[in-house]
Amino acid sequence: MPPIKAIETDVGPALAAFSAHLWALKVPHRVFDTGDGRQVVVVGTQAHAHLARDHFRRWMDGTLDTAADRISGAPPRSVVLGTIRSLPVTALAVFLSVLGTLLVYGDESLGMLHWLTFTDIHREAGRIAIDSAVATYGRGEYWRLLTPVFLHFGVMHLVFNMLWTWELGRRLEQARGSLTMCALLVLAGAGGNIAQFLADHDAMFGGMSGVIYGLLGYLWLWTRFTGDPRTRLPPGLLGFMLGWLLVCMSGVVEALGFGAIANAAHAVGLVVGMALGAGAALLYSPRDSAGS
């Protein structure tokens, strides 16, 4: 069968980047210069021709997240915005975590920061005073059950947690939807915060780690019971995360001087995530979940 001309365009558009995208899609093709300022992409089948034309149209108007975007540098603005729109809860969690961390380092007067800690922390006669849980929640300030997850105490703490939040959160939100992601964020976050406060009786703690372990637990059991390929974890990741949890609980990390670890939040977040993942798997069949 003779080659089929799928695309003909001016030399201006950089077809090398689009060609890389086609190879990533496993579409055999060739790119030729016609000698008169035009370039042609030829493929072997009509099906590949239709696919190449459709992807080229979306690549040109910036609505396709392609291998070309990753090769050529920063992705188009439309791709970034499209990703955020498709993952609103995960993106919001990252955004609020960055803001919360800026407050930890920039709000020495506690003017805003005191609204986000598990119990109220404020300055009184030049000293820091901490309200009891009874006093704080007696005023109806229930948002504090969640808000400590957005506070991080160090740049590495923030970066490490945001990488895992994005990696695991996008898998869950893409496969199970924003409502599920929101429910897990709230339940694993609040559950982990409550456990951490009961374990240490200290209001100044925070971080997304409990939520991260909640995401891990949900993805683990949901995939195990349903076989959903969209939520399958990379090989070795589960073992690494569970091993890290045990190392932290052993006290080795704190003994080496890396700071306090919110072990109670990690453990309870994992249990909450596992319960939600297993419960969802019992309620929905793999066939139903594939279309959710």
Which residues participate in catalysis according to the annotation?
209, 266
Cα–Cα nearest to 97, from 49, 153, 59? 153
Nearest to 206 by CA among 135, 123, 271, 116: 116
Letter string b/e over residues 99-115, b meaning 16 or more CB atoms within 10 A of that residue's CB: ebbebbeeeeebeebbe
User: Count of CB atoms within 10 A of residue 57's CB?
Assistant: 12
Q: Strands 29-33 and 121-124: what pairing?
A: unpaired
Cβ contact 213:273 at 8 Å? yes
CA dihedral for 76, 82, 85, 91, sign (positive or negative): negative
What lies within 8 Å, CB to CB, of 131 at 6+ separation is 119, 120, 121, 122
